Amino acid sequence: MERRRSAWRALVVGCLALLVGCSSPPEEKILQDFFRAARMRDDTTLGNIATVSFNPGTDGVVQRFEVVEIGEERRRPLPLREYAEALERARAADAEFTERKRAYQTANLAAIDRIMKAEAANRSIAPADRAVKAAWDKWVADTAVHTKAVSDAQYQLNANTGIAELSLARAGAAVDVRQLDGELISKDVRIRATVRPPEGSPVERSYRVRMQRVEMKDSQGQTLSGRWIVTSIEPEET
């Protein structure tokens, strides 16, 4: 009886080892979906799993591939709520500045009009208007500063929300990622692929694929774990 039990345990362990050895890493499934959608020009599917494509007309068609190496995960802070608050502060400061600028312009409209006409005609500014010109020049320069502050804050928010929204996208669950803070997780996957170019015979090529996902915290402190998204694929020297 004991011998049968030992044989049974050995059989179970062997089967489990076989299953583990034959199982594919999750990165392989992600890439299979990516290359299949690229091959079929399925932009809808690609838009759900990647921020990049692999154009059959220029990049060719991946016929098969193997994962060569999976790099370590790298993390960096992704404070989207902080970025959103920074944008609101920049907008509020710009709105307050614009009101003060408009009030000054209204109070000195006649002098500003004379200054603009004199500059357009390449004439000297009247002595009585020089103080207003200096002040108005500063208002104009400060306008550019405020405009840039809003633009920079908007860019920082937009550049980081896209991957978060895509990574956290779930059927029927809309998440305002601008109210979340967390981390952006990245890893590089090296693959060797057989690629059929737009013209010619299939060739062997190596690529480095970057995958990214987010882990964010909601207002209750609950962790929201996003799925991996393909964000870059670059050829490597073979």
Q: What is the pLDDT of residues 28-70, one digit of tens each?
A: 999 999 999 999 999 999 999 999 999 999 999 999 999 999 9
Task: Report the share of the chain in percent with pLDDT over 70.
Answer: 88
> What is the pLDDT confidence band of residue 126, given thresholds at 50, 70 and 90?
very high
Does any domain span residue 148?
A: yes
Determine the Cα–Cα distance for residues 182 and 223; give it in Å rounded to an integer.
9
Does any domain span residue 117?
A: yes
Residue partners of 194: CB distance under 8 A and separation at least 6: 62, 63, 64, 65, 202, 203, 204
**155 with 210, same domain?**
no
Assess whether pLDDT exceeds 80 at residue 5. no
Does any domain span residue 12?
A: no
Assess whether pLDDT exceeds 60 at residue 201. yes
Assess whether pLDDT exceeds 70 at residue 204. yes
**149 with 208, same domain?**
no
**111 with 225, same domain?**
no
Total number of domains in the chain: 2
Does any domain span residue 112?
A: yes
**90 with 158, same domain?**
yes
Does any domain span residue 9?
A: no
> What is the pLDDT confidence band of residue 237, given thresholds at 50, 70 and 90?
confident
Does any domain span residue 138?
A: yes
**216 with 181, same domain?**
yes
How many helices (H) and strands (E) the chain has is answered by 6, 6
Question: Which residue reads 């890493």 in tokens?
Answer: 25
Domain coverage including residue 146: 80-162
Tell me the per-residue pLDDT of 131-161, one tens digit each, with 9 for 90 and over.
999 999 999 999 999 999 999 999 999 999 9
Assess whether pLDDT exceeds 80 at residue 6. no
Tell me the per-residue pLDDT of 149-198, one tens digit each, with 9 for 90 and over.
999 999 999 999 999 999 998 744 567 899 999 999 999 999 999 999 99
* pLDDT for residue 229: 96
**73 with 180, same domain?**
yes
Does any domain span residue 58?
A: yes
Indicate the pTM of the whole model: 0.75
Does any domain span residue 16?
A: no
Determine the Cα–Cα distance for residues 48 and 80; give it in Å rounded to an integer.
21
Q: Phi and psi for 104 in degrees, rounded to 5? A: -65, -45
**84 with 153, same domain?**
yes
**Do residues 144 and 152 touch, judged by C-beta distance below 8 A?**
no
**48 with 71, same domain?**
yes
**97 with 154, same domain?**
yes
Which residue in 75, 82, 51 sits closest to 165, CA to CA? 51
**207 with 146, same domain?**
no
**157 with 110, same domain?**
yes
**115 with 89, same domain?**
yes
**Do residues 153 and 125 touch, judged by C-beta distance below 8 A?**
no
